[in-house]
Structure 1
Amino acid sequence: MARSPLLEGLIEALRCLPGVGPKSAQRMAYHLLERHRDDALRLSEALRAAVERIGHCERCRTLSETELCAVCADTRRDAGLLCVVENPSHLQVMEQATHFKGVYHVLMGRLSPLDGIGPEELGLDRLERRLGEGELRELILAISPTVEGEVTAHYIGEMARAHGVRVTRLAQGVPMGGELEYLDSGTLTHAFESRREY
């Protein structure tokens, strides 16, 4: 039995979400159309409003409805501490889980030449200007330890050091409550080599 072109279009549109394959998209589409049409309309209206009205903060590049996000507009934040994160969700995690009172630069990705993501796409020209302003004391790299993340961190670290800014990196290794026997050798090796005074 052939499905309607509208239903096919909805299923295909839902597949743009991360982790949603054909089966999941089909389940979502049927769920919304069978019994939850009001929710589907509310979802579409919220999505349209967000796409039309949410842009990027002029200073840190996170998602924002205003020219400056709440963090950048807060004059009580320490402008001498800059934390570099990959995306707005990482900024949100940092805000919720830590007591960090500095400011951010949001990359919106990692360096990946094969995918066409270079320094320009990550806003590194803006970061370079911030480094050149002379206000930064420390740049904290909060970038995932993937191959692309390591390359990105190295690139940004070199930029910051060229401006005489101290560069630090989030500690990596054994998670809180983790059992050593369940760690992979790379994580354990890194944790061992990065040990500190106790």
Structure 2
Amino acid sequence: MYEGIVQDLIDELGRLPGVGPKGAQRIAFHLLQADPVDVRRLADVLVEVKARVKFCSVCFNVSEADLCRICADPRRDQTVLCVVEEYKDVVAIERTREFRGRYHVLGGAISPIEGIGPEQLHIRELMTRLADSQLTEVILATDPNLEGEATATYLTRMLKPLEIRVTRLASGLPVGGDLEYADEVTLGRAFAGRRSAE
């Protein structure tokens, strides 16, 4: 335990996701030893990002304008919509350069244990968006965990009456992985989603 403001800094850093007590302590001491100009620049960026960044009024991705760059891009395919849990998922999919459609960010996944139901997510906005568009396919790209599966199942039921093609991302073994290290669910999905050899 440190005293005063140093401990306050460690405590605040420890509240960040993925930062444990030791990591928070390392970051705090790095900041204490850093040049004051660098620390001021970091502080300014933190304040500025909170002031300027908001969520896209259409898809709920992060943006500095009313529309994010993807929604504002007329070259994107408006007939395909990829539904993701978080805005960081958009970045992951964009890095693949495989998807040219649009997105809808739910803002999380259904998790009764954490008290998150459909009403806490952007599902109502998704349904409104689907009613007012020329979409032919909705890709459900939720995480392959219990909450993601529950969310995908819920959305599939909601979308069925709309007669829009609903697909799910394939899941299975990672490239370069070993079968012996795969869990049962992943290996089972790899068998269920197998395709013909080329």
The TM-score range, normalised by the shorter chain, is over 0.9
Measure, in 1, the Cα distance between the counterparts of 2:97 and 2:182.
Answer: 24
Shift of 1:113: 2.3
Deviation track 1:67-89 (CA, whole Å, cap 9, x = no partner) reads 00000001111111000111111
Identical-residue share of aligned pairs (%): 46
Measure, in 2, the Cα distance between the counterparts of 1:158 and 1:87.
Answer: 21
Measure, in 1, the Cα distance between the counterparts of 2:59 and 2:129.
Answer: 10
- TM-score normalized by structure 2? 0.93
Give the paired residue count.
Answer: 197
- TM-score normalized by structure 1? 0.93
1:15-164 map, 5 Å: 15-164=14-163
Measure, in 1, the Cα distance between the counterparts of 2:176 and 2:113.
Answer: 37
Given that 1:63 and 1:69 are in contact with CA atoms closer than 8 Å, whether structure 2 keeps it comes out as yes
Larger deviation, residues 176-185 vs 110-119: 176-185
Q: Which residue of 2 aligns with 1:180?
A: 179
Can you give the 5+ residue segments of structure 1 that lack an aligned partner in the other structure?
none
Larger deviation, residues 172-181 vs 161-170: 172-181
Measure, in 2, the Cα distance between the counterparts of 1:37 and 1:147.
Answer: 45
Measure, in 2, the Cα distance between the counterparts of 1:135 and 1:119.
Answer: 24
Measure, in 1, the Cα distance between the counterparts of 2:127 and 2:169.
Answer: 21
Shift of 1:52: 1.0
What SS is found at the alignment partner of 1:120? helix
Measure, in 2, the Cα distance between the counterparts of 1:194 and 1:24.
Answer: 40
The letter of the residue matching 2:32 is L
Given that 1:111 and 1:151 are in contact with CA atoms closer than 8 Å, whether structure 2 keeps it comes out as yes
Shift of 1:55: 0.5
Measure, in 1, the Cα distance between the counterparts of 2:119 and 2:184.
Answer: 35
The letter of the residue matching 2:41 is R
Shift of 1:183: 1.9
Measure, in 2, the Cα distance between the counterparts of 1:162 and 1:131.
Answer: 12
Measure, in 1, the Cα distance between the counterparts of 2:179 and 2:92.
Answer: 25
Measure, in 2, the Cα distance between the counterparts of 1:68 and 1:116.
Answer: 30
Deviation track 1:131-183 (CA, whole Å, cap 9, x = no partner) reads 21241110001111111110000111112212111111111012223232332
The letter of the residue matching 1:88 is Y
Deviation track 1:92-124 (CA, whole Å, cap 9, x = no partner) reads 111111321100001121111232222232210
What SS is found at the alignment partner of 1:73? coil
Measure, in 1, the Cα distance between the counterparts of 2:113 and 2:177.
Answer: 35
Larger deviation, residues 122-131 vs 171-180: 171-180
Measure, in 2, the Cα distance between the counterparts of 1:96 and 1:170.
Answer: 16
The letter of the residue matching 1:115 is E
